[in-house]
Amino acid sequence: MTTMAAYTGRLRDPKTSALLHAAERGSIAHILQLAKEGWPKDARDQAVVLATTFNLLSEEPTPVNPELSPDSSTFFERAQPLQRVNALMEIVAISGRLLEEGREKVVEPISRVFEGSVEVLLRWLGFWLGSWDWILCYDPRARHGNPLFIPGRTAEIFSNVLGGCDEKLRNAMLALPETTRFGLSLWNWVDQNGLPLYLPYHIPQQTICPIIDIVSSLQRHPATKHLIVEEVSNYTYKQHVRFLHCTLTRIKHWEACRIRSPSKKIHDGSDIVAILLVLTHLLCIPALKREFIRLNVAGQVMRLAASHPEWDVLLFFDAKPWEHYPNYQRFVLPQLIEAGALEAILDDYISRNGPGVKKPWFLLGPPEDTPLSPLEIIGLTCVHPKTLATTLAAFGTLPRDKQWRDEKHNNHQREFVCLLHFYRHTWDRLPAGRLNICDSLNHHHRSSGGEVNGKRCSGCGVKVYCSVMCQKEDWDLHKFECRDDRRRRIDLENARAWPSHRFRSFLLALLQQLLLNWEFPQRLMSPCINEEKSEDGTLLSQIYVEGEEGYKANGLKRSKKNSKNSIQFPIWKTPVHWHANTVDELRAMKCTHTERARKIYEGPRFSRLFDEFERASSDDALDKQMEPGSLWDDQEGVSKKLRLASLTLNLGTYVNYVLGRFVVERAQERTSVRLLNGYISVKECGNT
């Protein structure tokens, strides 16, 4: 393996060898000459010069501010160490530019030298950036017309090395916490006027500011993405404000880089997308999130993009950060919509769906390999109350011609508008000030409706009961899970991702209305339930959704034994895809929507339900479990059955797991199913 020690010994060029020996003796003039006209052309000689330079820098003490006037008699003597360091860093800068140019014979040897000197490089880059204000007084290049020479050169060196090196050197640099700290220091740097550092595009192929590229690379890399969160979490209030101020200022100073033919009017927006990804990744930090919302960063970006003729506002959605960052749905999207994103999306939608367009641009159920459209993203994320209210308000203020352009666009937009009213209708029907979910497995023995006063477990604060009696009866199961529930609740509350009891009730009501008990008169949203006979005579509930042409129900995919008792309905897009699960499959099922995959149904609570599943081998056995009472009063023409089922429903970033008892009510013209009692859990993608 080639190491830095291999690049020592005699140089092939005698002139370069003489200059290097003089530089080793501390001659500033010879160091500068070596960095300019004396720079070697041979790749091995270049690596030897760079290795010697790093050896000299590692032995050089850190200069201190002499605080002398340039007219002082001792100024030159006191400034010599700093000038020698600056001259040596010129050699490092030249080597970094060679890496950026990507010459095949140069990249490998120079990368190996940088790999063995990463700590030295970061030490002196950090010194330059932290002491730039007083270095200006002792560097003639900075004193004469270029006050940003030192910080600009610092960022350029770091960008060239990180962007032009091979994968081995990049991993070695990113593995160091100092790399993350220095990258954020570049982002937060401001001059005397409070303006951040913004480097111009110095090569034709570059489509992003080097500093933005550095921080976005740190955010994307698995080894550093958590280090960024940890570093920014330790910021003070003023540092959070500065971080967001530098972000907004960079966006305002951004200019689109034309990477294609000017006649096509295509302008690259990678800067904006990269900044948004960095911000949404850091919104898990409560202090930064508060400032992000208070300063309305997303709204300012959106208004700036809407007023800039060269920006495409759909870039905010093309990157699809909503899939990986739950905070994007809760906080970024509402501010974007308030700033006019919905109108811009509908303008684009109308232009795409002009006369003669057969396939609508907006689909509730695109193929798996097709990215969702902006309207679909907004529609799915309206499960969040804030996003829903903002979208409804924005849609209501649009001109009439943009809401319903003609009958063709009316049909295409119907799905989106119906989805908005569907969510609002569900919220309106949810009783306020009442307990809608009791977590006791025996709750159905006592009551069929919601209770006014609920009892929350004082230990975990997660389980909610309709009465003290239900809480006492459930304690023999809950005592094994109370501690873990409390730990999970605290973690999610710190991440501002804990679903309240009312929100959990809303998701349950949404599940039942969308799939099982939907009565709102919309053709697309009218589920029907058919009962088919299985081979052994057991009734199975098949659910499908009627809709536009092409939305057809999938047939029942039968599984192994016990499939008649446990049915899973994974609903993400239309048409509905569903299949049966055995009890063994349910026991082994893991949640893949969180950072740590773990079993969903594990513990005494689920063991009791699974035992009940296995005992219920026929409809007769299930019917015998029905307790007498008002719930089971016979009604003329209505039959009721008790079913055991497992359901999974995806809504936005939320995944709802339901395992419990369902009541199937069948009349002459309609069948409805509703959850009677069981286990309900809400998970959010990206959170534990």
* Tokens encoding 127: 């010194």
Structural domain contains residue 238: no
For residue 407, pLDDT over 60 is answered with no
Is the same domain home to 476 and 542? no
How high is the pLDDT of residue 91? 85
- Beta-carbon neighbour count of residue 115 at 10 Å? 19
For residue 234, pLDDT over 50 is answered with yes
What residues contact 1, with CB distance under 8 A and at least 6 apart?
none
Helix (H, G, I), strand (E, B) or coil at 640: strand
Structural domain contains residue 377: no
How high is the pLDDT of residue 97? 82
CA nearest 162: which of 129, 201, 118?
A: 118
How high is the pLDDT of residue 545? 30
Q: Is the separation of the CB atoms in 401 and 347 below 8 Å? A: no
Residue 410 binned pLDDT confidence (cut-offs 50, 70, 90): low
How high is the pLDDT of residue 638? 65
Structural domain contains residue 619: yes
Q: Are strands 654-666 and 639-651 parallel, antiparallel or unpaired?
A: antiparallel
- C-alpha to C-alpha distance for 487 and 388, rounded to whole angstroms: 30
Is the same domain home to 538 and 631? yes
- C-alpha to C-alpha distance for 593 and 177, rounded to whole angstroms: 29
Is the same domain home to 471 and 483? yes
- Please give the single-letter amino acid code of residue 210: P
Is the same domain home to 492 and 522? no
Quote the DSSP letter at residue 445. Answer: G
Residue 468 binned pLDDT confidence (cut-offs 50, 70, 90): confident
Structural domain contains residue 393: no
Residue after which a domain boundary falls, among 472, 498, 524: 498
Is the same domain home to 514 and 623? yes
CA nearest 429: which of 344, 338, 531, 518?
A: 518
Number of residues assigned to the chain? 688
* Tokens encoding 6: 């291999």
How high is the pLDDT of residue 681? 73
How high is the pLDDT of residue 266? 32
For residue 653, pLDDT over 50 is answered with yes
Residue 27 binned pLDDT confidence (cut-offs 50, 70, 90): confident
Residue 557 binned pLDDT confidence (cut-offs 50, 70, 90): very low
Backbone angles phi, psi at 527, to 5 degrees: -75, 145
Structural domain contains residue 573: yes
* Tokens encoding 376: 């679909």
Q: Which domain holds residue 567?
A: 499-684
- Give the residue, 283 or 595, on which the prediction is more confident: 283
Is the same domain home to 630 and 644? yes
- Please give the single-letter amino acid code of residue 521: P
- Domains in the chain: how many in total? 3
Least confident of 112-126, 165-179, 610-624, 647-661: 610-624
Is the same domain home to 568 and 545? yes
Helix/strand/coil (H/E/C) assignment for every residue in 235-274: CCHHHHHHHHHHHHHHHHCCCCECCCCHHHCCCECHHHHH
Residue showing tokens 């091979």: 166
How high is the pLDDT of residue 514? 54
Is the same domain home to 489 and 600? no
Most confident of 198-207, 426-435, 679-688: 426-435
How high is the pLDDT of residue 608? 79
Cβ-count burial 627-638 (b if 16+ within 10 Å, e if not): eeeeeeeeeeee
Q: Above pLDDT 90, what percent of the chain? A: 0
Least confident of 200-214, 366-380, 551-565: 551-565
- Beta-carbon neighbour count of residue 102 at 10 Å? 10
Least confident of 13-17, 351-355, 418-422: 351-355
Residue range 173-184: average pLDDT? 86
Residue range 376-393: average pLDDT? 81
Give the CA distances from residue 17 to residues 7, 21, 40, 121, 644, in Å, rounded to whole numbers and listed in that order: 13, 6, 9, 23, 84
Structural domain contains residue 32: yes
Residue 362 binned pLDDT confidence (cut-offs 50, 70, 90): very low
Most confident of 240-254, 364-378, 511-525: 240-254
How high is the pLDDT of residue 668? 59
Residue after which a domain boundary falls, among 153, 174, 195: 174
Give the DSSP letter string of 561-627. TTTTT-EE-EESSSSP--EE--HHHHHH-EE-SSSS-EESS-SHHHHHHHHHHHH--SHHHHHHTPP
Least confident of 216-230, 370-384, 490-504, 559-573: 559-573
Q: What is the pLDDT of residues 595-642, one digit of tens each?
A: 555 677 777 887 877 777 666 544 444 444 444 333 444 556 666 666
How high is the pLDDT of residue 669? 59
- Give the residue, 656 or 364, on which the prediction is more confident: 656
Q: What is the pLDDT of residues 248-257, one digit of tens each?
A: 887 777 654 4
Is the same domain home to 31 and 84? yes
Is the same domain home to 524 and 632? yes
* Tokens encoding 534: 């299985």
Mean pLDDT of the chain: 68
Q: Is the separation of the CB atoms in 12 and 41 below 8 Å? A: no
Residue 3 binned pLDDT confidence (cut-offs 50, 70, 90): very low
Helix (H, G, I), strand (E, B) or coil at 357: coil
- Please give the single-letter amino acid code of residue 313: V
- Give the residue, 510 or 278, on which the prediction is more confident: 278
533 bridge partner residues: 539
Helix (H, G, I), strand (E, B) or coil at 76: helix
Is the same domain home to 485 and 522? no
What residues contact 467, with CB distance under 8 A and at least 6 apart?
446, 451, 455
- Give the residue, 394 or 323, on which the prediction is more confident: 394
Q: What is the pLDDT of residues 57-98, one digit of tens each?
A: 888 888 777 665 555 556 566 677 777 888 888 888 888 888
Structural domain contains residue 590: yes
For residue 553, pLDDT over 50 is answered with no
Residue 652 binned pLDDT confidence (cut-offs 50, 70, 90): low
Please, which contacts does 513-517 make with residues 24 or more away whose CB atoms are closer than 8 Å?
513/422, 513/425, 513/426, 513/429, 514/422, 514/571, 514/649, 515/543, 515/569, 515/571, 515/576, 515/647, 515/649, 516/543, 516/662, 516/672, 516/673, 516/674, 517/672, 517/673, 517/674
570 bridge partner residues: 648
How high is the pLDDT of residue 30? 80
How high is the pLDDT of residue 642? 64
- C-alpha to C-alpha distance for 198 and 212, rounded to whole angstroms: 9
Give the CA distances from residue 198 to residues 208, 250, 649, in Å, rounded to whole numbers and listed in that order: 11, 7, 45
Least confident of 77-91, 183-197, 369-383: 369-383
CA nearest 572: which of 420, 426, 368?
A: 368
Q: Is the separation of the CB atoms in 376 and 431 below 8 Å? A: no
How high is the pLDDT of residue 513? 60
Structural domain contains residue 550: yes
Is the same domain home to 524 and 616? yes
Residue 394 binned pLDDT confidence (cut-offs 50, 70, 90): confident
How high is the pLDDT of residue 544? 31
Q: Are strands 570-571 and 639-651 parallel, antiparallel or unpaired?
A: parallel
Q: How far apart are the first and last CA of the chain?
A: 42
How high is the pLDDT of residue 615? 66
Residue after which a domain boundary falls, among 498, 513, 545: 498
Q: Is the separation of the CB atoms in 281 and 180 below 8 Å? A: no
Helix (H, G, I), strand (E, B) or coil at 530: strand
- C-alpha to C-alpha distance for 521 and 425, rounded to whole angstroms: 12
How high is the pLDDT of residue 317? 60
Q: Is the separation of the CB atoms in 441 and 608 below 8 Å? A: yes
* Tokens encoding 406: 């003609």
CA nearest 600: which of 579, 586, 610?
A: 586
- C-alpha to C-alpha distance for 39 and 46, rounded to whole angstroms: 8
Q: Is the separation of the CB atoms in 582 and 562 below 8 Å? A: yes
Q: Are strands 590-591 and 598-599 parallel, antiparallel or unpaired?
A: antiparallel
> What helix, strand, coil percent values describe the chain, rounded to 5?
50, 10, 35
Q: Above pLDDT 70, what percent of the chain? A: 55
- Please give the single-letter amino acid code of residue 160: N
